[in-house]
């Protein structure tokens, strides 16, 4: 996969020259790929955390236009941001809501996950005046939100009262990326038992969804009507099946060279003097630091892309700046764009490979991209 050609950064003369390039066409194509791998099931597209750092409103609009059934986020605020951005499709608040937030959610047409047994009677009372759709979250093995199978029996009377508003039932895999599918299949069996218990009480949610990206890519979907992918929509994946499907990473992080200087051997660079130039070289300073979401522990470990090659990040990454070493004979000038996160998954500065370098997951790197970074959208 080739990187998009880089245009000069457009910016205010006094502004910071750092931007995330987000290819909405890639996100739409990833949606189509995921759906076709899952026999056309409908998709609740997970766009929480500012669409994993990509920008929730533009990404939400693109996914809505590309045929997502709805968008899923974690909080009321994230749902309101999408509605204010003109999104009209269903929006599911995965993290649940306190009863006092239900009137607002109802007025905004949000769908709400029921995440525990606590407020069921309050919900039934409030929904009569402020109706909305509910998805019942079942804790099949994730161990955080959701009604435990052992709690379900004691809640059935309350749930029957909520039945007119219950549209869906959902669970969440703890190990969908594990080559050993034992625990995931156990979660599926528990989900089935809970659904049967609900059906026996006269509650038959029209929608059922248990599958995140990895479950979609690995076919752990069983009788689900809907999918709930996040990461794979952005072209990122934890599993070989995702790479085999040629998911297209949608984001590149680009910074303009702010300063470049030739330094003699022995020059030290940055806080703590952790880099000492071994020979005469050029040091390029980029206006991107850990406050933007570029991890501090990429100092003396990360690389950036420039003119078809990669060059090392040297010295400590500071709050607003990082420094890159280049040989003296590499033509480079202030204003030249360098790629900090590549949209080529094979590149050493692709998000999946950087995550491996850091011993983390690509989610953490993309979600950390600060809102102060300009995002530029194209397709």
Ligand X SMILES: Cc1ncc(COP(=O)(O)O)c(C=O)c1O
- Does residue 172 touch ligand X according to CB under 6 A? yes
Q: Round to whole Å and give the CA distance between 30 and 150.
A: 38
Is 377 considered catalytic here?
Answer: no
> Which residue is nearest to ligand X, using beta carbons?
230
Closer to ligand X by CB, 142 or 258: give it.
Answer: 142
- Residues 202-221 vs ligand X: string with x where CB under 6 A? ----------xxx-------
Backbone angles phi, psi at 230, to 5 degrees: -125, -75
CB of 343 to ligand X, least distance (A): 18
Q: Which two tokens stand for residue 341?
A: 């996160």
Of 61-69, 76-84, 97-105, 223-231, the window that binds ligand X (rule: CB under 6 A) is: 223-231
- Does residue 136 touch ligand X according to CB under 6 A? no
Terminal Cα distance for the chain, rounded: 15
- Residues 232-251 vs ligand X: string with x where CB under 6 A? x-------------------
CB of 248 to ligand X, least distance (A): 16
- Does residue 140 touch ligand X according to CB under 6 A? no
CB contact at 8 A, 41 and 219: no
- Does residue 229 touch ligand X according to CB under 6 A? yes
CA 248 remoteness from chain centre: 14
- Residues 325-344 vs ligand X: string with x where CB under 6 A? --------------------
Q: Round to whole Å and give the CA distance between 251 and 167.
A: 34
- Does residue 230 touch ligand X according to CB under 6 A? yes
CB contact at 8 A, 373 and 320: no
- Does residue 187 touch ligand X according to CB under 6 A? no
Residues 48, 52, 363, 377: which is the catalytic one?
A: 48
Closer to ligand X by CB, 194 or 314: give it.
Answer: 194
Q: Round to whole Å and give the CA distance between 270 and 316.
A: 6
Residue count of the chain, please give it: 379
Cα-Cα-Cα-Cα dihedral sign, residues 302, 232, 83, 119 = negative
Count CA within 13 A, CB hemisphere, residue 368: 18
CB-neighbour burial class of residue 150 (10 A; exposed 0-12, middle 13-18, buried 19+)? exposed
Q: Which residues contact 120 (CB under 8 A, 6 or more apart)?
A: 114, 155, 158, 159, 161, 162
Closer to ligand X by CB, 207 or 212: give it.
Answer: 212
Closer to ligand X by CB, 235 or 350: give it.
Answer: 235
CB of 231 to ligand X, least distance (A): 4
Q: Which residues contact 273 (CB under 8 A, 6 or more apart)?
A: 315
- Does residue 94 touch ligand X according to CB under 6 A? yes
Is 123 considered catalytic here?
Answer: no
Of 127-135, 195-203, 224-232, 314-322, the window that binds ligand X (rule: CB under 6 A) is: 224-232
CB of 262 to ligand X, least distance (A): 44
- Does residue 50 touch ligand X according to CB under 6 A? no
- Does residue 134 touch ligand X according to CB under 6 A? no
Of 230-238, 280-288, 318-326, 352-360, the window that binds ligand X (rule: CB under 6 A) is: 230-238
Q: Where are the alpha helices (DSSP H) in 15-119?
A: 24-37, 48-52, 56-65, 76-84, 102-107
Q: Round to whole Å and give the CA distance between 221 and 203.
A: 21
CA 374 remoteness from chain centre: 18
Closer to ligand X by CB, 33 or 172: give it.
Answer: 172
Of 171, 174, 168, nearest to 214 by C-alpha is 174
Closer to ligand X by CB, 177 or 344: give it.
Answer: 177
- Does residue 46 touch ligand X according to CB under 6 A? yes
Residues taking part in catalysis: 48, 271
Q: Which residues bind ligand X (CB under 6 A)?
A: 46, 94, 172, 212-214, 228-232
């Amino acid at each position: 996969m080739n990187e998009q050609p880089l245009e000069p950064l457009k910016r205010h003369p006094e502004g910071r020259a750092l931007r995330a390039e987000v290819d909405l066409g890639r996100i739409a194509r990833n949606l189509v790929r995921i759906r076709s791998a899952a026999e056309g099931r409908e998709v609740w597209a997970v766009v929480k955390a500012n669409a994993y750092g990509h920008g929730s409103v533009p990404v939400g609009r693109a996914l809505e236009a590309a045929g997502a059934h709805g968008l899923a986020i974690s909080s009321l605020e994230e749902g309101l941001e999408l509605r204010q951005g003109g999104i009209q499709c269903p929006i599911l608040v995965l993290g649940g809501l306190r009863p006092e937030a239900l009137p607002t959610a109802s007025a905004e047409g949000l769908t709400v996950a029921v995440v525990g047994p606590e407020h069921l009677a309050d919900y039934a009372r409030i929904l009569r005046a402020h109706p909305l759709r509910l998805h019942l979250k079942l804790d099949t093995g994730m161990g955080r939100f959701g009604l435990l199978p052992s709690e379900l029996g004691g809640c059935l009377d309350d749930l029957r009262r909520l039945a007119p508003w219950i549209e869906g039932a959902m669970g969440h895999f703890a190990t969908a990326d594990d080559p050993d599918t034992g625990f995931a299949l156990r979660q599926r069996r528990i989900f089935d038992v809970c659904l049967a218990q609900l059906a026996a009480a006269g509650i038959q949610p029209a929608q059922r969804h248990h599958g995140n990206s990895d479950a979609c890519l690995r076919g752990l979907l069983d009788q689900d009507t809907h999918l709930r992918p996040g990461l794979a929509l952005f072209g990122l994946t934890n599993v070989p099946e995702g790479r085999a499907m040629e998911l297209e990473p949608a984001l590149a992080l680009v910074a303009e060279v702010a300063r470049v200087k030739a330094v003699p051997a022995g020059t030290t660079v940055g806080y703590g003097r952790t880099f000492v130039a071994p020979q005469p070289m050029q040091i390029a300073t980029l206006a991107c630091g850990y406050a933007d979401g570029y991890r501090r522990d990429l100092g003396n470990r990360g690389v950036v892309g420039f003119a078809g090659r990669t060059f090392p990040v040297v010295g400590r990454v500071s709050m607003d700046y990082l420094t890159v070493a280049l040989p003296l004979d590499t033509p480079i000038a202030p204003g030249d764009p360098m790629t900090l996160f590549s949209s080529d998954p094979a590149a050493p500065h692709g998000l999946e490979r950087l995550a491996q370098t850091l011993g983390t997951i690509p989610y953490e790197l993309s979600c950390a991209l600060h809102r102060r970074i300009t995002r530029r959208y194209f397709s």
